[in-house]
């Protein structure tokens, strides 16, 4: 997998620019052990298995895939919350794979995370003011007496009332709590924000509020987002480019509109066709690719193309024996498939 | 129309709490014909789950003040003694829940749990009940059902567990299946498999189905009739096309406009509904949606609109005139796509 595909993945306008995040052959394995007293390793969970990815300043890259495909693990590896087993992570041209101690802490100013569950990611015993102000204290970026006005300014920025400075998280609704999480992530003016399923715990009418807020903040502070979600419609809406993951690997990547119009990997096609469309006529016209079964175990992933046991267009023995590489398809689109889908617009009827 | 299978009339469910009366369900009425699929849409706290838990007889009069009628096959379920209700629940009406991990017992084998449901209602031997359980697991598309029946829930994936739940719910061939957010915890590919399965089994068993969900896409693809709920009330009721192409309620418009859609080409901004759903203890006077409604009028703040039919069985609860509704629908709501 050392083939140089990075140029073809990059959006055409970005060639030559330094990516904010660059991943090269990143792997993350978790050991599986057996025995209680004398533990011995019996295998590895191949959570992330060789990912190359570039994220450019100011863009939003979406990451989609089913549960267990490794998208959250990848996010945590980028955040350096997990150490990569193999590979290299660069931030703004600088290798951060093995940063430690103070250097790592300083690096973390530049990248923050927003989590899925606004009920679990806020300390219930702290006031909103101290939750949002915590990064200032940790990084000693702001004088003590300036913290409160700074926090209140942040609260206003994300649409919370600054008078609620002394309230506790339980006094807020789900959507408001997610705003608290956004304010906390924004406190240190990071360059990159990793959003791990930021709206999936929220009601539909509130989801749109948070998505619009994230869009506004991106425009205002020139933020770069890595946006992880399993809701393909949401990912399409927010992302410039979308990467599809399956069992620890990126199987397809393209600009949002291209990916949705001409998916090349059968897995992408199946994912897209499974999304229910809130329009009965279009839904009826949709072509369905039904996937059988579940995602195989990442402890012992299938040989060759990992998708071949579930793939409707798999041709044996090639798909079983030979691992497909991420190869250019349409401009700005790469897919890892021996028998890519033809350009059929009828998988997804596009509303006019 | 044929004799309705289920008819709910003016159902209210109020929970007395220390903070005040929680009006979880506040006067809903609808009917469901045999073989029909009803979608119930609404945000969390709109009363959609509570109303169907009440239909199932799972909310008791010592927990809540329940009024109205729930007529199922000619009987008012709310007046039935607990013993008789137990005979109906599971056998003639059954329910599947959002989280299949917490609805299966972790200590018992999946096959045992399904055959227990069978043996509760039918006089059959353990062997026969077990065979029936295996047969049901096969029908819901679980490979190697005889081996799978001997496994515990933790050995099943999320989608498989939900299939097992459906197998259990359908093992007694119920006339009504209530699915409360059946696919919310699942991936889209598995969601599609499960919804197809429900559709197919509905045909096979000729059951009526209620799908409770917040996902307007799921409803568009699988339901015949749709009820939109807000703050304990039904604000709109109609056929699938009525709701998606001819909705007459600002809340439904808000829902339709606020979702990101896969079939849209543009990167247009979403139109969220402003504000938050109200507290059910302190529901705004008049129309409960009035503080969030962009078309609010004076009357909305004082008088509660009734759910009035406009044509056929399409009904909406809104004070706007029909002409205004049609105009807004045409110029603002449908203009989006």
Would the pTM of this model clear 0.90, i.e. be above it?
A: no
Cβ atoms of A118 and A174 closer than 8 Å: yes
Please report which helix (H) or strand (E) contains residue B241, including its range.
Answer: helix B240-246
pLDDT tier, A350 (very low <50, low <70, confident <90, very high otherwise): low
Nearest CA in chain A to B270: A208
Q: Give the pair of three-digit tokens for residue A260.
A: 């949705």
Inform me whether the pLDDT recorded for A351 exceeds 50.
no
**Which of the pair, A117 or A339, is modelled with greater confidence?**
A339
Nearest CA in chain B to A68: B187
The interface predicted TM-score (ipTM) is 0.83
Cα gap A242→A60, rounded to integer Å: 8
Nearest CA in chain A to B161: A294
pLDDT tier, B266 (very low <50, low <70, confident <90, very high otherwise): low
Residue B9 CB burial class (10 angstroms; 0-12, 13-18, ≥19): middle
A149-173 confidence digits (pLDDT tens): 999 999 999 999 999 999 999 988 8
Give Cα separations from A105 to A57, A87, A135, A202 (angstroms): 21, 21, 11, 31
Of the residues A66, A207, A276, the best mutation for testing chain B's interface (the one with the most B CB atoms within 10 Å of its CB) is: A276
B8-54 confidence digits (pLDDT tens): 999 999 999 988 899 999 999 999 999 899 999 988 888 999 999 99
pLDDT tier, B103 (very low <50, low <70, confident <90, very high otherwise): confident
Single out the residue of A168, A211, A173, A198 nearest to residue B44, CA to CA. Answer: A173
**Interface A:B, Cβ pairs < 8 A:** 140
Tell me which residue in A206, A211, A279 faces B244 most closely, judged by beta carbons.
A279
End-to-end Cα, chain A, rounded Å:
40
Average pLDDT score, chain A: 87
pLDDT tier, B158 (very low <50, low <70, confident <90, very high otherwise): confident
Strands (E), chain A: 21-34, 40-55, 60-64, 86-91, 94-95, 111-114, 192-196, 224-228, 241-246, 249-255, 327-328, 334-335
Cβ atoms of A267 and A306 closer than 8 Å: no
pLDDT tier, B336 (very low <50, low <70, confident <90, very high otherwise): low
pLDDT tier, A5 (very low <50, low <70, confident <90, very high otherwise): very low
Predicted local distance difference test score (pLDDT) of residue B125 = 94
A57-73 confidence digits (pLDDT tens): 999 999 998 888 888 89
User: Which chain B residues touch A290 with a CB distance below 8 Å?
Assistant: 192-193, 196
User: Which chain B residues touch A283 with a CB distance below 8 Å?
Assistant: 217, 220-221
Cα gap A225→A242, rounded to integer Å: 12
User: Which chain B residues touch A282 with a CB distance below 8 Å?
Assistant: 263
Phi, psi of B242 (to 5 degrees): -60, -40
pLDDT tier, A13 (very low <50, low <70, confident <90, very high otherwise): low
pLDDT tier, B197 (very low <50, low <70, confident <90, very high otherwise): confident
pLDDT tier, B3 (very low <50, low <70, confident <90, very high otherwise): confident
B20-32 and B37-41 beta bridge pairing: unpaired
User: Which chain A residues touch B261 with a CB distance below 8 Å?
Assistant: 233, 277-279, 351
A283-312 confidence digits (pLDDT tens): 888 777 878 777 788 888 899 999 999 998
Average pLDDT score, chain B: 89
Q: Is A176 helix (H, G, I), strand (E, B) or coil?
A: helix
End-to-end Cα, chain B, rounded Å:
34
Predicted local distance difference test score (pLDDT) of residue B312 = 78
Single out the residue of B3, B46, B36 nearest to residue B239, CA to CA. Answer: B36
Give Cα separations from B207 to B32, B71, B115, B173 (angstroms): 11, 17, 21, 8
């Amino acid at each position: 997998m050392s083939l140089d595909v990075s140029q073809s993945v990059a959006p055409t306008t970005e060639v030559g620019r330094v990516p904010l995040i660059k991943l090269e052959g990143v792997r993350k394995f978790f050991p599986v052990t057996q025995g209680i007293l004398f533990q011995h390793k019996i295998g590895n969970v191949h959570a992330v298995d060789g990912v190359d990815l570039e994220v450019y300043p100011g863009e939003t890259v979406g990451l989609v895939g089913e549960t267990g495909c490794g998208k959250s693990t990848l996010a945590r590896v980028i955040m350096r919350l997990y150490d990569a087993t193999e590979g290299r992570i660069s931030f703004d041209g600088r290798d951060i794979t093995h940063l430690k101690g103070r250097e790592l802490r300083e690096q973390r100013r530049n990248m923050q995370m927003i989590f899925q569950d606004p009920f679990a990611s806020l300390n219930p015993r702290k006031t909103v003011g101290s939750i949002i102000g915590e990064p200032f204290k940790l990084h000693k970026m702001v004088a003590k007496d300036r913290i409160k006005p700074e926090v209140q300014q942040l609260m206003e920025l994300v649409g919370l009332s600054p008078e609620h400075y002394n309230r506790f998280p339980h006094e807020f609704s789900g959507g408001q709590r997610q705003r608290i999480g956004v304010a906390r992530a924004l406190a240190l003016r990071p360059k990159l924000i990793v959003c791990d399923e930021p709206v999936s715990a929220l009601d539909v009418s509130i989801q749109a509020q948070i998505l619009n807020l994230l869009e506004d903040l991106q425009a205002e502070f020139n933020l770069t987002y890595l946006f992880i979600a399993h809701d393909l419609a949401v990912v399409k809406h927010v992302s410039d480019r979308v990467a599809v993951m399956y069992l620890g690997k990126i199987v397809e990547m393209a600009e949002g509109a291209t990916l949705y119009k001409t998916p090349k990997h059968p897995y992408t096609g199946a994912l897209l066709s499974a999304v229910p469309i809130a329009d009965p006529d279009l839904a009826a016209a949709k072509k369905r690719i039904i996937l059988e079964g579940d995602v195989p175990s990442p402890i012992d992933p299938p040989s060759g193309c990992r998708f071949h046991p579930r793939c409707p267009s798999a041709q044996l023995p090639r798909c079983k024996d030979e691992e497909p590489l991420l190869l250019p398809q349409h401009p700005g689109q790469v897919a890892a498939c021996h028998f890519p889908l033809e350009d059929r617009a009828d998988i997804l009827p596009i509303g006019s | 129309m044929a004799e309705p299978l289920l008819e709910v009339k003016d159902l209210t469910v109020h929970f007395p709490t220390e903070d005040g009366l929680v009006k979880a369900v506040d006067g809903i009425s609808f009917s469901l014909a045999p073989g029909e699929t009803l979608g119930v849409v609404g945000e969390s706290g709109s009363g959609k789950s509570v109303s169907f838990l009440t239909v199932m007889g799972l909310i008791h009069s010592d927990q809540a003040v329940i009024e109205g009628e729930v007529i199922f096959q000619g009987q008012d379920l709310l007046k039935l003694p607990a013993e008789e209700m137990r005979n109906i629940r599971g056998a003639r009406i059954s329910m599947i829940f959002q989280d299949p991990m917490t609805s299966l017992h972790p200590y018992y084998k999946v096959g045992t749990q399904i055959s227990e449901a069978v043996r509760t209602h039918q006089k059959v031997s353990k062997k026969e009940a077990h065979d029936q359980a295996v047969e049901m697991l096969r029908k819901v598309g679980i490979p190697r059902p005889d081996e799978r029946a001997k496994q515990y829930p933790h050995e099943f994936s999320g989608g498989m567990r939900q299939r097992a739940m459906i197998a259990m719910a359908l093992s007694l061939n119920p006339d009504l299946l209530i699915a409360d957010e059946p696919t919310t915890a699942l991936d889209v590919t598995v969601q599609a498999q499960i919804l197809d399965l429900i559709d197919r089994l509905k045909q096979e068993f000729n059951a009526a189905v209620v799908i409770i969900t917040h996902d307007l896409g799921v409803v568009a693809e699988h339901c015949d009739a749709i009820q939109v709920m807000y703050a304990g009330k039904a604000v709109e009721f109609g056929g699938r096309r009525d709701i998606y192409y001819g909705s007459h309620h600002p809340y439904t418009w808000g829902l339709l406009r606020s979702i990101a859609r896969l079939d849209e080409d543009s990167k247009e901004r979403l139109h969220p509904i402003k504000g938050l759903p109200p507290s059910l203890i302190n529901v705004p006077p008049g129309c409960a949606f009035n503080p969030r409604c962009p078309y609010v009028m004076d009357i909305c703040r004082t008088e509660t609109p009734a759910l009035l039919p406009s044509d056929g069985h399409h009904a909406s609860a809104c004070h706007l005139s029909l002409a205004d509704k049609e105009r807004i629908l045409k110029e603002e709501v449908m203009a989006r796509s």
